[in-house]
Structure 1
């Protein structure tokens, strides 16, 4: 059962307002005893309804009581009269008519107030759902920023190590504006890249770095075209030897062999 959808259906608000059938009432009571989230939401709605009713409760004017007493003839002297049995039409009695009008008016006001309160509760529920969505998006963004910071710290650690070399790779005719830096440490065998300008790729493609050893390409890891020119990406491959470095476009996750038709850049290490 999807508890979130059940809470958002509005059945709990109707239950609190007493506007559900016996079957729906039994269903809500059963599910609230099984699912703690439904129980908490039900308790919260009950508290909101009670607080709202107390906050907006209005005492009737004192004049209403006086008028009702006058209509009921309270306080007048009782005179002895001869009582004769006769049919009484209660529907035409002023007292009955006034009482019915007052009761109907109070019932109408209570009904309007109930609809207003139900509307407010649903609005608050939508607002809370929106807040939960925003919080979830914010948590996702925070996790992404934390991951980027961790990756950047690891890449900067590579740059600070003694013996790290910096190589500039410029794009060929397929990427004439392409430009990136490769940081390689021949002692620790770690490698990182800094993309300064490379064309963006589709979601199913990635750039792949290759180390050329004796004329043969060796996988050096995949990376993405970064929108931040100062972002350094550490690759997850160890490069023991390298006569040159090259870049190709491959499927996301990398390829065991380079696609030569997508070769964008090539630079020797000892140039």
Structure 2
């Protein structure tokens, strides 16, 4: 209702410049909403005060002045003839001019407010677009950096095949021994269920010893597909299991999704 009051239609209603249909709508609002009726009353008071300020004469003072010019005697009644004044017409013109001026100022204020709102919306849209562009550029730069890293001639690629719990799953590990970095391509893994995360393990085979490389808590089936992890281990194989959120101290073997051996 505040938005309706701020629209300016109530001022136009008081000035009598609305269409018949618009007058009916405002009248219904007056009957239904006390705050609308209160607003119309305040507008009428303001207009009355403005009109009185613009009026060039005071009716009460004029009546007193007219009475003082009437002379009566006991035998002979004389009335001093009075010429018709044009002041009321001028006053009405003043009222109308004041009302039109007020309408014009209100209309101009509304238009300025609309323009300022449009400018603010455009500025917000520009900032949002700039933010999206910056994120896209950062993602592109990160992708290029990862691709350059995994394409290096000294990087070892280890394919991880799907296991019994998920035969269709697959992943790849790109291991850079020189920098002790491993890049895990998880594009072949199904999205983990709620409350679960994938955890990557570095394995030595004799004896079988798993070492956690970290959880893939930034996994996003529709977003980032290659995740960088530290791997200072003497890995002979890699495996990925599904674990509770936060990861586990040791791998849950019946939730082993993928497994791959480092080629000698």
The reply to whether TM is greater than 0.5 is: yes
**1:114 counterpart residue number:** 105
Number of residue pairs the alignment of both structures matches: 184
Instruction: Flag the 1:261–1:133 CA change in 2: closer, same or farther, 3 A.
Output: farther
Counterparts of 2:184 and 2:231 in 1: how far apart (Å)?
13
Could you list the per-position Cα deviations for residues 218-240 of structure 1 after superposition, in whole angstroms to 9, with x for gaps in the alignment? 23243513436xx7624131343
Distance 1:162 1:251, change over 3 A: same
Q: Give the drift of 1:122.
A: 2.8
Residues 210 and 250, structure 2, Cα contact 8 Å, conserved in 1: yes
Q: Which residue does 1:243 correspond to in 2?
A: 236
Deviation of the 1:261 alpha carbon: 5.3
The CA deviation at 1:147 is: 3.1
Aligned to 1:163: 154
Pick one of 212, 221, 225 that aligns with 1:219.
212
Deviation (angstroms), 1:253: 6.4
Q: Helix, strand or coil for the counterpart of 1:170?
A: strand
1:268 is aligned to: 261
Verify the 8 A CA contact 1:243 1:269 in the aligned structure 2.
Answer: yes
Indicate yes or no: 2:98 matched with 1:103: no
How many angstroms does 1:192 deviate by? Answer: 0.8
Structure 1 position 134, deviation (Å):
2.2
CA-based RMSD: 3.5
**Alignment-derived partner of residue 132 in structure 1:** 123
Partners of 2:184 and 2:229 within 8 A in 1: no
Kept in 1, the 8 Å contact 2:158–2:263? The answer is no
Compute the displacement of 1:212 (Å). 1.3
Residue 182 (structure 1) shift = 1.6
Tell me, what secondary structure is at the counterpart of 1:196?
Answer: coil
Q: Is the 2:187–2:225 Cα contact (8 Å) retained in structure 1?
A: no
Shift of 1:189: 2.3
1:3-24, Cα deviation, whole Å (9 max, x unpaired):
xxxxxxxxxxxxxxxxxxxxxx
CA distance in 1, matches of 2:168, 2:191: 12
CA distance in 2, matches of 1:192, 1:225: 15
**1:120-166 Cα shifts (integer Å, max 9, x gaps):** 23322332332333234323323322332232233123223222122
- Report the CA distance shift for 1:134/1:205 in structure 2 as closer, same or farther (over 3 A): farther
CA distance in structure 1 between the partners assigned to 2:254 and 2:96 by the alignment = 83
| Deviation for aligned residue 1:209 | 1.9
The CA deviation at 1:246 is 1.3
CA change 1:201–1:121 in 2 (3 A) is farther
Q: Cα distance 1:202–1:269, how it changes in 2: closer, same or farther (>3 A)? A: same
Unaligned 5+ runs, structure 1: 1-83
Kindly report which structure 2 residues correspond to 1:45-64, keeping only aligned pairs within 5 A, or say none. Answer: none
Q: 1:211–1:239: 8 Å Cα contact kept in structure 2?
A: no
Could you list the per-position Cα deviations for residues 50-107 of structure 1 after superposition, in whole angstroms to 9, with x for gaps in the alignment?
xxxxxxxxxxxxxxxxxxxxxxxxxxxxxxxxxx994859xx63x3233222222222
Q: Alignment partner of 2:87: what SS?
A: helix
CA pair 205-99 structure 1, distance change in 2 beyond 3 A: farther
Of structures 1 and 2, the larger Rg is shown by 2
